[in-house]
Structure 1
């Protein structure tokens, strides 16, 4: 079976991400997709799976709205010369995949795990025995692929296996829902966790947003 291209993986990631975040349907563009997110600090995002200098420069020149984001599947150093004033870097991302299988993660002593579904999204919450927040994550299954999103562990509860517990629980749910491949875009910190769980990096992603200096600054 032929391996999916980066563009195909990016589109699968988008299809799950918009369900997870409640964003607008992706609008097809010659270079990729535009997604309305509808938040003050992220009004919309342009996603380019195979960015070129000409495409990025054209988008940058046409952007006037603060809170516009670019998700460019290339490394930061490659795209840096293509940008103009007012563009700022967020953390780089890593497009990653994993073959899904049945998982039976055990909950560590002193913690409880709860999961629920709402609007096509599965959410997992880990709390201490006293009910304090410890870790969480969510996932959207869209056919054969499942997109993990917003994985987080409270700083005081890190290095106790809770991130792995959340991920394996989500992977198990996705597998039982019929998905065969997990997809996510991880941060540099998250990459280490996901790699340890068998995820593979498929592409780097530069993440940028437009936040120009106020007039007269």
Structure 2
């Protein structure tokens, strides 16, 4: 069952998302937020808590490619409000965890070692092989009382070895060491089942739309 998403929660999560990528911080845009991303295929992103009049008006107004509109709603809730120029992207899922994660205190296999890095309020944990080959990586960003988990990934040839779970435990330790136990992230369809197995709960849908350029393969 989906939960309400407050503007403050979006502000904290989007701040964490921006800090993780060393991008400009979000600024308020009407009833949502705007981030000047600056990527070739993501120039700007707007994020709204619901399919509001502001969201619908912006969807009518924007004509250029690679400007993303994102909303805490399912595709079914917004598709009747969209001009045909928009393309709905793969589904995202907002997820929260307000209790210790359900992860055993397993030891990292001897074939791997941990590396740590920090910039701004972002903490990076890497799992690499003894030869330094990247295996898994993730970030946790501390924003006020919220731990935002971001860019969690495992290389294909290192999957199904429990590395992602171990990584999440290490990231959680960092948040807890700073007195933060409220956790939040946005998951892909593939990641959702992993996080649910660790004790995370579905919070709300997170749906993205974009106008791709005519020369793209979308």
| Shift in Å, 1:48 | 0.7
Map of 1:209 onto structure 2: 210
Map of 2:169 onto structure 1: 168
Q: Out of 102-111 and 134-143, give the one that drifted further.
A: 102-111
Write the distance in 2 (CA, Å) between the matches of 1:45 and 1:92.
Answer: 16
Describe the superposition over 1:87-123 as per-residue Cα deviations: whole angstroms up to 9, x where unpaired. Answer: 2222211111112549855212311111111222111
- The normalised TM-score by structure 1 is 0.89
Map of 1:36 onto structure 2: 36
Runs of 5+ consecutive residues of structure 2 not aligned to the other structure: none
Describe the superposition over 1:5-26 as per-residue Cα deviations: whole angstroms up to 9, x where unpaired. Answer: 4113322211211211222222
Map of 1:116 onto structure 2: 117
Q: How does 1:91-102 map to 2 (within 5 A)?
A: 91-99=90-98, 101=100
| Shift in Å, 1:184 | 0.4
Write the distance in 1 (CA, Å) between the matches of 2:131 and 2:211.
Answer: 42
Q: How does 1:85-164 map to 2 (within 5 A)?
A: 85-99=84-98, 101=100, 104-164=105-165
Q: Out of 95-104 and 138-147, give the one that drifted further.
A: 95-104
Contact 2:100 2:181 in 1 (8 A): yes
Q: Secondary structure, in 3 states, of the residue corresponding to 2:132?
A: coil
Write the distance in 1 (CA, Å) between the matches of 2:195 and 2:183.
Answer: 11
Q: Secondary structure, in 3 states, of the residue corresponding to 2:116?
A: strand
Task: Tell me the matched-pair count.
Answer: 210
Q: Secondary structure, in 3 states, of the residue corresponding to 1:85?
A: coil
Write the distance in 2 (CA, Å) between the matches of 1:183 and 1:167.
Answer: 12
Contact 1:100 1:174 in 2 (8 A): no
Map of 2:72 onto structure 1: 73
| Shift in Å, 1:157 | 1.1
| Shift in Å, 1:64 | 2.5
Contact 1:88 1:210 in 2 (8 A): yes
Runs of 5+ consecutive residues of structure 1 not aligned to the other structure: none
Contact 1:105 1:169 in 2 (8 A): no
Describe the superposition over 1:28-81 as per-residue Cα deviations: whole angstroms up to 9, x where unpaired. Answer: 2332111111111111111011223x4333111211332100111111122122
Write the distance in 1 (CA, Å) between the matches of 2:125 and 2:175.
Answer: 12
Contact 1:89 1:208 in 2 (8 A): yes
- C-alpha distance 161-135 of structure 1, shift in aligned 2 (>3 A): same
Describe the superposition over 1:120-170 as per-residue Cα deviations: whole angstroms up to 9, x where unpaired. Answer: 211111112222111111111012111010000111111111111111111
Contact 1:75 1:204 in 2 (8 A): yes
Q: Over the residues paired in the alignment, what is the CA RMSD in angstroms?
A: 2.0
Write the distance in 1 (CA, Å) between the matches of 2:17 and 2:165.
Answer: 21
